[in-house]
Structure 1
Amino acid sequence: MKRNCSVTPAQLGGLYASLCAVSLGVAGFLWSQGAMLVLPFAVLELVAVGAAFLVYARHAADSERIRLLDGRLVVEQETAGRVKRSEFVRDWVQIEPHGGDGLMIEVRGGGQTVRLGRFLRPELRPVLVREIRQALRGA
């Protein structure tokens, strides 16, 4: 399961570069015409937009991966480039909806708990719970 992003980080970088070129071009022209404060404010604006784009780009590749490997349920969660991996023994794992109304999916076993489903629509989370339970029984 991945985050639904309409713009990739590379596309965002291209958009930001073109925004910088246009904004600094206009600000440079106005600065040459005597409007001295336009250029510093344009630079400040571009720094703020760049920071927002950077935050977006860091989380654009966030994902959750669920796999059955050698009798284990393996859950990998990637957030801002960091991967958290949790392994559960297939026979001892419990899969439950957490928080009612299908808010999140809770995977428990062996003293650890992981919550899944950040990137799924709430109405699809019960379907995922059924599919994981089926895979655990049939594996």
Structure 2
Amino acid sequence: MVAVTSAWSPRNRRFPQGPTLSDGTGTRWILKRNCCLTPRQLLCMYAVLCVVSFGVGLGFWASGAHLVLPFAWIEMAGVGFALWIYARHALDRESIVIIGGRVEVEQEVAGRVSRLSFDAAHVRIDQRGGSAGLVELSAAGRRVSVGRHIRAQHRSQLAEELRAALRGSYGQG
């Protein structure tokens, strides 16, 4: 099964071609973080930054300023730690699929994937914290919150699209 993988866009208010699966059997939302660099690009940028910083530190070391190089190491260790945390979450995403009477929610956070499946007929959609809060799907005593990767003011739009898709009227009217 091949699906439209475009991220939800507030400018389009819906997916560019509607969030339907290409075989027409269901609906899918893929919500991703807005990251400008992939982890690989981030690693390359960090390597260049280290070369420049250590080059400057070595230049000062050769000039007799011996404390610059240790501080360059400390600085690059701190920057490396911050970039490592950023890279762990750069590929975070949420996927919501409504297909065949089921609602499948998959969330990836820092490389850990969790999946929940609900019977579409019993799913309830709420918003915690008002119209800017996360969208919560619940059924049979289980619940999951989605919408972390879209702006708060657009979460109510996501909730309405989910409700419409569950009613089977997505894209009509």
Q: Deviations over 1:12-33 (max 9, x none)?
A: 1111011100110110111112
Q: TM-score, normalised by structure 2?
A: 0.77
The alignment covers a number of residue pairs equal to 139
8 Å CA contact 2:131, 2:156 repeated in 1: no
Q: Within 5 A, what are the aligned runs for 1:29-40?
A: 29-40=59-70
Aligned to 1:80: 110
Aligned to 1:64: 94
Query: Equivalents in 1 of 2:34, 2:85: separation in Å?
Result: 15
Query: Are residue 93 (structure 1) and residue 130 (structure 2) matched?
Result: no
Q: Deviations over 1:19-71 (max 9, x none)?
A: 10011011011111211111111111101100000000000001110001331
Query: Equivalents in 2 of 1:40, 1:83: separation in Å?
Result: 39
Q: Aligned match of 2:153 in 104, 123, 127? A: 123
| Secondary structure at 1:119 match in 2 | coil
Give ranges in structure 1 of 5+ residues lacking alignment: none
Deviation for aligned residue 1:6: 1.5
Q: TM-score, normalised by structure 1?
A: 0.95
Percent identity over the alignment? 48
Per mean C-alpha deviation after superposition, the further-off stretch among 114-123 and 45-54 is: 114-123
Aligned to 2:22: none
| Secondary structure at 2:74 match in 1 | helix
Per mean C-alpha deviation after superposition, the further-off stretch among 7-16 and 51-60 is: 7-16
The amino acid of 2:132's aligned partner reads: G
